[in-house]
Amino acid sequence: MHTQSWCEIPISHPVRRNAFCVLFASDYAALIVPPSPIHFVRVERRSHLTSATLAPETLARLQSAFSRRWFIDGWARRSFRDAARRTLREDAPTGLVLLGRGMQFDVPPAFEQPFEPVELGVNDPQLTTLAGPAPTREERVMFVVWIVIALALAALAIPALVALFFPAGRNLWLRGGPVLLCAAALIAAIVALARLGSRWLLVPGGVVIARRWRRPARPELLTRSAACAVLRYVHTGKTVILTLELWPLRGKVRRRAVSQREAIALLAAWQSPHPPPTAEQLRELFAA
């Protein structure tokens, strides 16, 4: 006779209970994977690769494939991706994570507790559980930015309110109103299109990717033994975006922009000692 138990998540807010989190205690204990080292490779100055766990000859092979040639970025070279996949398959089957230059956060420890899938791109309180309560550098900067924006809007609102009490001001609002409505509609359309993209969910030892518009859902599970995880800053003209890339052993590269908190949560979940969800659990999760 099995004793049924729920996943316990050390957070104060209510937690959804679903099929993903229902496991038999004895069976779940047998499924827990003993801690294994995940190999982290950092890109330092002058494109120099460092790792505390990879064998020197393996690191040298990656370094040779990554080195810049003819002003081509090493990340864009197919030979480097193939070398990383080979390293994951032959020399680092427990997991390979590549970290680009300028990472403004430390690699967190593994999240030891079982947890439910955490979706990226939404305000999920479980991100704080995985990444820790301390604010990231990005969040501290954005807090100051929002204060400046609020003060600027307040400064603009005062003359706008005064203008409403004069005929000239009313005419100005009547002429500019349609423009403001069009701008609001454009922003709403951009947000709606962004939500049509794929859903990314963090699970123990992997990431689940599913199309929002596909019915029935066909979630794709990429685990640390089947894909290299890459975190790097990508320059897009005037901006720099922190990007998460997954390089599966077979198939095309998956990528999306992430925040620093999401990146930290990913690294904590990627190192989890617990097994990823089964295909049946994923079907039940997306059928709900």
* CA angle at 288 for the pair 118 and 31, rounded to the nearest 5°: 55
Per-residue pLDDT of 39-67, as tens digits, reads 999 998 888 999 999 999 999 999 999 97
pLDDT at 249: 94
**Residues 162-184 pLDDT 10s:** 555 655 555 555 555 565 566 55
Round to whole Å and give the CA distance between 35 and 282. Answer: 24
Q: Rounded to an integer, what distance in angstroms lies between the CA atom of residue 54 and that of residue 192? A: 44
pLDDT averaged over the chain?
76
Segments in the chain forming alpha helices (H): 25-31, 56-66, 78-86, 126-131, 137-163, 167-194, 260-270, 279-287
Domain limits, the chain: 35-101, 137-194
Global pTM value: 0.71
Length of the chain (residues) = 288
**C-beta separation of 209 from 198 below 8 A:** yes
